[in-house]
Structure 1
Amino acid sequence: MYFAMAKFRGIFQMYQKVLVRHPYLVQAVQTGTLMGAGDLISQTLIEKVSIVDYKRTLKFSSIGFFVGGPALRVWYGLLNKHVGASGKTVAMKKVFVDQFIFAPTFLFFLLVAVGTMQEKSWDSVKKDVHSNYFDVLTTNYYIWPWVQLVNFYYVPLQYQVLLVQSVALFWNTYLSWKTNKRNKLE
């Protein structure tokens, strides 16, 4: 047990050092990895496909790597700078701004990006966004305000994306399933 804890502590210290030196890269890699993992979970455990579509996983993962991770890093930095760093009132304000500005915008962009990566026509992407957006946004409001309240109140800025992405493993599984279920019907 002691050896395992010492090993974990060593890995976490290494993570901290790399995070300080390369915050955008680390958060892009962890976001891309967790989005890819969410897609794999969706395919294997929810959709129960017989052959995993690794191209789909790579596309979903790339949204996290190139957009999600960097966007979250910038967003949390802006919230910290303009809303504040700590306190109950600050945490509540951050959750409000996050959920009524960032979440609706980012989810819209995500749905468009997924449809585009699926090589759908613009009309089909618009149809998918129209049929999925409010369901996804409503589901978001059941989960994320509570996660973000804990995140903004208790978690230091440099670890906020990590906490969000840890919870997002389940969220990404849902998003992958939601954005790909129509493909099975077409």
Structure 2
Amino acid sequence: MFARIAYRRSLVLLTQRCLLNVSPNTKKLPQLSSQQLTLFQFRQFYQKRSESSTDATITRNIWNKIFGKYLLATNILSSGILMVIGDLVAQEIEYRRHHNELDEFDIKQERYDTKRVFRMFVVGCLQGPLHHYVYKWMDYAMPVRNVKNTLWKILIDQIFMSPACILIFFYSACYLEQRSVQDTNKELCDKFPIIYLMDWAMWPAAQYINFRYLDTKYRVMFVNVCTAVYNIFLSYMKHDY
């Protein structure tokens, strides 16, 4: 206790010396009492704490709105944006491979196809509502996050959701490319087995983490982050396979 009192007095004396250490032309500042300095320090500390608390409150309110009131819009936009990220990576890989295969003077290909990027954004946004409502229904029907319910959710996701997402991807992308239904069906029949096999190889492990440990409001965002990697393969299968 006495050590604390001595430390506080030394701090007060040091502060007073700093305040009085000014140029001769400056008016001499009045000496502050120990209580005044303590009150001043408390006000400074409280002001900084209030500012940091306000910033944290604003961030928390924004976060709660994104994953609360505007969850559907968040899931739709994140699906489109992360689909675009995966497609841009796929386009970069395609460009570099073609650049190595072709002579420099023969290259007329642009690095990124903006129309394709837009199509992938639309395709991703179309998948957002499906994930949003199906995951909400799963958690409503099986609210307990145990191993049994998790395995059931993974099975539902692989048997119903995965084929549905693949169909949405191909039919919406081909429609935006103004291709006929016959061409779309042929492409889908050729590529569906490989894509679905890859889907079984990747998604059960990721969805176990999703359904077992995450809250409902974070499920679609988690899937979209994983899909950003998966979409590199999916975009390659659609455009360059």
TM-score, normalising length from structure 2?
Answer: 0.67
- RMSD in angstroms over aligned alpha carbons? 2.1
- Structure 1 residue 54 corresponds to structure 2 residue 114: yes
Q: Which one-letter code corresponds to 2:167 in the other structure?
A: F
Structure 1 gap segments, 5+ residues each:
1-6
- How far apart are the structure 2 equivalents of 1:162 and 1:144? 14
User: How do 1:79-118 and structure 2 match up within 5 A?
Assistant: 79-118=138-177
Bigger relative CO (Cα 8 Å, ≥ 6 apart): 1
Structure 2 gap segments, 5+ residues each:
1-54, 97-108
Residue 46 of structure 1 and its aligned partner are, at CA, apart by: 3.7
Match of 1:138, SS? helix
Q: 2:154–2:208: 8 Å Cα contact kept in structure 1?
A: yes
From the superposition, tell whether residues 177 and 153 of structure 1 become closer, same or farther in structure 2 (CA, over 3 Å).
Answer: same
Residue 47 of structure 1 and its aligned partner are, at CA, apart by: 4.2
- Structure 1 residue 179 corresponds to structure 2 residue 229: no
Name the structure where helix makes up a greater proportion of residues: 1
Q: 1:42–1:174: 8 Å Cα contact kept in structure 2?
A: yes
- Structure 1 residue 17 corresponds to structure 2 residue 73: no
Q: Which one-letter code corresponds to 2:121 in the other structure?
A: S
- How far apart are the structure 2 equivalents of 1:12 and 1:142? 37
Residue 16 of structure 1 and its aligned partner are, at CA, apart by: 3.3
Residue 11 of structure 1 and its aligned partner are, at CA, apart by: 5.6
- How far apart are the structure 1 equivalents of 2:151 and 2:57? 32
- How far apart are the structure 1 equivalents of 2:93 and 2:225? 18
Q: Which one-letter code corresponds to 2:150 in the other structure?
A: A
Count of equivalent residues: 175
TM-score, normalising length from structure 1?
Answer: 0.86
Q: 1:76–1:157: 8 Å Cα contact kept in structure 2?
A: yes
- Structure 1 residue 33 corresponds to structure 2 residue 81: yes
Match of 2:67, SS? helix
Aligned match of 1:44 in 92, 97, 122?
A: 92
- How far apart are the structure 2 equivalents of 1:139 and 1:8? 42
Residue 170 of structure 1 and its aligned partner are, at CA, apart by: 0.7
Summarize deviations over 1:14-65 as a string: whole Å, max 9, x none: 3333221111101111110000111111101244364310111111111112
Q: 1:47–1:177: 8 Å Cα contact kept in structure 2?
A: no
Q: 2:127–2:168: 8 Å Cα contact kept in structure 1?
A: no
Query: 7-16 or 79-88: which moved more?
Result: 7-16
Q: 1:115–1:128: 8 Å Cα contact kept in structure 2?
A: no
